[in-house]
Amino acid sequence: MGLKLESVILWGRSLAEYIKMFNLTPDDLQLNILDCAGGPASFNIEMTRLGYNVISCDPIYQFTNHEIEERIQKTYQKVIEGLQADLDSYVWQEIQSPEDLGQIRMSAMQQFLEDFPQGIQQGRYLTPELPVLPFKTRQFDLALCSHLLFTYSDFFSEDFHLASIVELCRVAAEVRIFPLLNISGEVSSVLQPMMKELKAQGYSLEIKPVAYEFQKGGNQMLQIKSVV
């Protein structure tokens, strides 16, 4: 793999945030779930503790626990300073300040780090990356992808987005992507072209509001289902 860890900002989210970001119901949590581009989130370990089934995949899982922790420590303050410099772009309600957010994220990432060695051994953390995944067709009931597709649409092409979404739809009966904004807080320029092309290919799509908004206007997810 060509990924260089020094080029990645590691920022993990919790089960509570996943539930809000993806409108996850109690029934959803019982599904066989793929967390694609999961990063150092605590979603997998929190779900595992509750007896649920989650596979997380991300190329960062090729690195050691120490390397990931070191990268988190190196980038943490830069992220907090970036938030402090752009306070008006975010909703400070449940999360009250950059420092508060930092504590929430570090708590999630610490849970991930404590679980990572065992999770690797148990096959819950895998290294595949979009747009090609090694999973069987419809291996999962639900695939979740947060803060990669659309978020980084200034860095990844329309072709990458289309291939990635089609691949997620191959391995899962339903796909949910959050948020629909790019990293600058604007609706991704890739969103409408992707929706048009996916509809033309026969997929069922719906933009749904969610009970999570940190980026201003970032309170929607895209739900995709194959009609085949």
Over residues 27-40, mean pLDDT: 97
Higher pLDDT, 7 or 151: 151
Domains with residue ranges and CATH for the chain = 5-226 (3.40.50.150)
Q: What does the pLDDT average to over 7-27?
A: 93
pLDDT tens across 163-176, in order?
999 999 999 999 99
What pTM was estimated for this model as a whole?
A: 0.95
First-to-last C-alpha distance (Å) of the chain:
33
- Of the candidates 197, 209, 190, 208, the residue with the CA atom closest to the CA atom of residue 169: 197
What average pLDDT score do residues 86-107 get?
A: 94
Quick one: which of 119, 214, 130 has its CA closest to 175? 130
Q: Which 8-state DSSP code applies to residue 31?
A: S
pLDDT of 4: 59
Contacts of 144 (CB under 8 A, 6+ apart): 18, 22, 33, 34, 35, 36, 175, 176, 178
Residue 204 and residue 224 in contact, taking contact as beta carbons nearer than 8 Å: yes
Say which range, 50-54, 72-76, 109-113, 189-193, has the weakest mean pLDDT: 72-76
pLDDT, tens digit, for every residue of 39-59?
A: 999 999 999 999 999 999 999
Tell me how far apart the alpha carbons of residues 212 and 147 are, in angstroms, rounded to a whole number: 13
What is the pLDDT confidence band of residue 1, given thresholds at 50, 70 and 90?
Answer: very low
Q: What is the pLDDT of residues 114-133, one digit of tens each?
A: 999 999 999 999 999 999 99
pLDDT, mean of residues 78-92 = 93
pLDDT value at residue 226: 84
pLDDT at site 5: 59
Decide: helix, strand or coil at residue 42: coil
**What is the C-alpha to C-alpha distance for residues 45 and 53, in angstroms, rounded to an integer?**
10
Residues 208, 180: Cα–Cα separation, whole Å: 10
Is pLDDT above 70 for 19? yes
CA 72 to CA 176: how far, in whole Å?
A: 26
What's the pLDDT at 227? Answer: 73
Mean pLDDT (the chain, rounded): 94
- Supply the pLDDT for residue 228: 65
> Which pLDDT score is estimated for 128?
96
Report strand pairing: 220-226 vs 172-178: antiparallel
